[in-house]
Amino acid sequence: MENMKSFRKIFIFLQIFITLVGISKLYATEKYENLNPDDVFSMSIEEMLQVVVVTASKHEEKISDIPASVVIFTRSDIERYGFVNLEEILENVPGMYKIDDMSAYKPVFGVRGFWSGSPKNIIIMINGVTQTEGIFDNFALTQFNIPVESIDKIEVIRGPMSVIYGPGSFYGAINIITNEKSSEVLKNIISVSYGTYGTKKTSLHSRGQEGDINFTFNAGYSSTDGQNEPLSIMSSKVDTLPYINSTNNNTKNRLENDSKHINISVYYKNFSANMSFNKSNDEIYGLFPTFSGGSSYLRETAKMKVGYEKKFSDFFTLTAKATYHNFRFRVNFDWFNFADSGYTSGESNIYEGELNTYFNFSDNLHLINGLYLKRISDNLMDANLHNVKIYTKNSALDYTDLLAFYSQIDFKPLDKLRLVAGFRLEQLLNYDILLANNPGKENSYYKTDTYEEDSVDFIPRLAAIISINEKNILKLLYGKAITRPSFFQNTDQITSASPDLHPEKIQTFELNYIAVPFPVLTINTSIFSNILDNLVVRTFELQSDKSIKTFSVNAGKMITNGIEFTIQTQPVESLLVELSASYQRTNDKREGFENISVEYSPHFLGYFKGSYKFNNNITFALIANFVDEMETHWKVDEINPDGTYGKRIGDRTDSFFTISTNLRVDDIVGKGFFFNLHCSNLLNEKYLFPTYTTNSNWMDKGAIGDPFSVLLTLGRKF
């Protein structure tokens, strides 16, 4: 208690330091615009004088100078390769791979050999607004369904970034920017798409300027019927599954999805505002195969942010922002012999406040300080699964408060050497949880408990950037990050009467070398080592009555060592080629796991991307991806015939190789019309994703991978 009071005093004192967090702006260069030499060559001098090259609060920064391993996709990259959604973009980031087990979170991405089953290890932001929620603390892509046509730029900042972005940025942060200010009076992009599996999409992107007001409006709708495949591809137990017969032993119309997204940004002098609304309905497989039309997961999110930024002088800049998030979900289960087997639902509100100062002592010395508060309120989850007689209602009895202060210094002692050192102090305050079993019924049972893990976490990072010369740059990076247990995980612990969970931790050491031996050739090499500790794993205890109690503990420890290698070359103006390969080995350091291969951890990943531009407005692209084989989860309490414990929940999945192509025609008849034809998995490679615990009851072979599909898009820029 005394520690808490002292820490609050420190926070009050530290409020004097107001911080700039355009950190994301500080490190996110605007240089990677959709401007290209041909554009500039044809612009008038007056037009060129209007182009913003830097925002007011930061100095020019090349990506080679950014103290992190960064990957950037511009709008022209997205158009060139015809990426149809955010998933496809992220699949082409070195070291990233997805697993879609058709359950609640849809695709979840792993990074550098680590995949945790829930999308909570990379922070995702849209225009600086985190896309999280207060119940599961995760960043499911289906929570925001951003249309790719809205995206001006995506910055993928890899490596532990908790100093700047807080918990959840285990493997980094992704910032999706849809509201870049433009000097043009008005710019609109409208598109409609139609494809296989009944896929339909439409989007509108509009931005402009009226006096001192800059605005951007994005809206999108998408729907799909999903694949139609027999369950026997995923399960060897189909014939023995209860209530599964010839009418429902396939995925037809059971993997439908539709989503709507709106995002509005407004800038007025020093002020900014951003609002977004998203509603998605995904049909899933949750625990058991679907009996009728499909189990569905409905999500609704609303987010509102207001911000203020002012450069008081060359020395001092201040930014502040306040954000409100609302999240609601409802899962309707379609199990056994009931189309309506019950539901789970929940809601949460998050209030965030952030204050940042940026001190520019000289060209070679900058200091950034930040103060952050997150308050989660009204957390509520309930379940009414009458089919299996589970009725619960769990809620947080008070606010869940997270406080943080961070500071980062950026120093350039020599012309060729830049040092960055930062830290974050963070504390999650205690909060009470109420669990109610069978509420309102005769056998109701209530339990309250307090999540008491309120220690102050110290999170450091260090970076050294050595500019050997303009063609060779070496970065030495060290960082630490944490991921806190969610409200959902904490309720689970209380239910099983288990101790509080602590934050999971990661430390990363990385050596990144960028070489440009020729102007048309760039080579990027990273050698990395990640130490993951305190990972939340399931364990079990044999009870005196010989029953098994399973619960979560912070007992996981893994070490990953790996290398990434990427080449980019543009031998002629029209041809752009990129080749990437990643190799990693992860070892599970828990006792007894020495000979058990780590789950969901492909050793080898690779991709090839090539695009060729004909006649200035026709682009053809080819993308190839390779993902190595993967093991499934090792279930520690699974009893083997010989009486020992522990076995895999499903089969190992084979490696797979897919090829996609894209044809884009821009500015048809000189009126801004465009046409895009995208083919995914052109060779119709049949592959499986390894099954996860959610569907391990029946999906032993794995979840079906993405099929061959075609998407045709027509649109206009005007």
Which residues of the chain form contacts with other proteins (CB under 8 A)? 30-37, 40-41, 43, 45-46, 48-56, 60, 62-64, 70-74, 76-77, 92-93, 470-471, 473, 514, 516, 519-520, 522-524, 566, 568-570, 573, 576, 578, 609
Beta carbon of residue 69, minimum distance to other proteins (angstroms, whole number)? 8
The nearer residue to other proteins, 29 or 552, going by C-beta atoms, is: 29
Largest CA distance in the chain: 84
The nearer residue to other proteins, 26 or 371, going by C-beta atoms, is: 26
CA angle 161, 167, 170 (to 5 degrees): 50
Beta carbon of residue 713, minimum distance to other proteins (angstroms, whole number)? 20
Beta carbon of residue 72, minimum distance to other proteins (angstroms, whole number)? 5
Distances (CA, A) of 523 to 68, 76, 469, 603, 624: 16, 21, 15, 21, 19
Q: How far is residue 147's CA from residue 83's CA, in Å, rounded to a whole number?
A: 10
Beta carbon of residue 566, minimum distance to other proteins (angstroms, whole number)? 8
Beta carbon of residue 576, minimum distance to other proteins (angstroms, whole number)? 8
Beta carbon of residue 517, minimum distance to other proteins (angstroms, whole number)? 11
The nearer residue to other proteins, 319 or 493, going by C-beta atoms, is: 319
Q: Which of 687, 666, 672, 679 is nearest to 712 (CA)?
A: 679
Beta pairing partners, 617: none
Beta carbon of residue 26, minimum distance to other proteins (angstroms, whole number)? 14
Q: What is the CA radius of gyration of the chain?
A: 25
Three-state secondary structure readout of 552-596:
EEEEEEEEEEEEEEEEEEEEECCEEEEEEEEEEEEEECCCCCCCC
The nearer residue to other proteins, 122 or 536, going by C-beta atoms, is: 122
Structure tokens at 586: 């992860």
Q: Which of 57, 23, 61 is nearest to 473 (CA)?
A: 61
The nearer residue to other proteins, 34 or 498, going by C-beta atoms, is: 34
Contact 247, 231 (CB under 8 A): no
Beta strands in 415-456 (DSSP E): 417-428, 431-437, 445-451
Q: How far is residue 564's CA from residue 273's CA, in Å, rounded to a whole number?
A: 39
Sequence-ordered list of residues with C-beta below 8 angstroms from that of 674, at least 6 positions apart, any chain: 191, 664, 665, 666, 667, 668, 713, 714, 715, 716, 717
Distances (CA, A) of 332 to 91, 137, 321: 30, 21, 36
The nearer residue to other proteins, 35 or 241, going by C-beta atoms, is: 35
Beta carbon of residue 548, minimum distance to other proteins (angstroms, whole number)? 48
Element housing 19 (H / E): none
Q: How many CB atoms are located within 10 Å of the residue 31 CB?
A: 14
Helix, strand or coil, per DSSP, at residue 430? coil
The nearer residue to other proteins, 32 or 372, going by C-beta atoms, is: 32
Q: How far is residue 373's CA from residue 460's CA, in Å, rounded to a whole number?
A: 19
Element housing 407 (H / E): strand 400-414
The nearer residue to other proteins, 174 or 234, going by C-beta atoms, is: 174
The nearer residue to other proteins, 48 or 213, going by C-beta atoms, is: 48
Q: How many CB atoms are located within 10 Å of the residue 519 CB?
A: 8
Beta carbon of residue 699, minimum distance to other proteins (angstroms, whole number)? 33
The nearer residue to other proteins, 202 or 524, going by C-beta atoms, is: 524
DSSP tag of 693: G
Beta carbon of residue 582, minimum distance to other proteins (angstroms, whole number)? 14
Structure tokens at 599: 């789950």
Length of the chain: 718
Structure tokens at 70: 């960064």
Structure tokens at 213: 């007001």
Beta carbon of residue 36, minimum distance to other proteins (angstroms, whole number)? 5
The nearer residue to other proteins, 346 or 479, going by C-beta atoms, is: 479
The nearer residue to other proteins, 53 or 497, going by C-beta atoms, is: 53
Beta carbon of residue 50, minimum distance to other proteins (angstroms, whole number)? 6
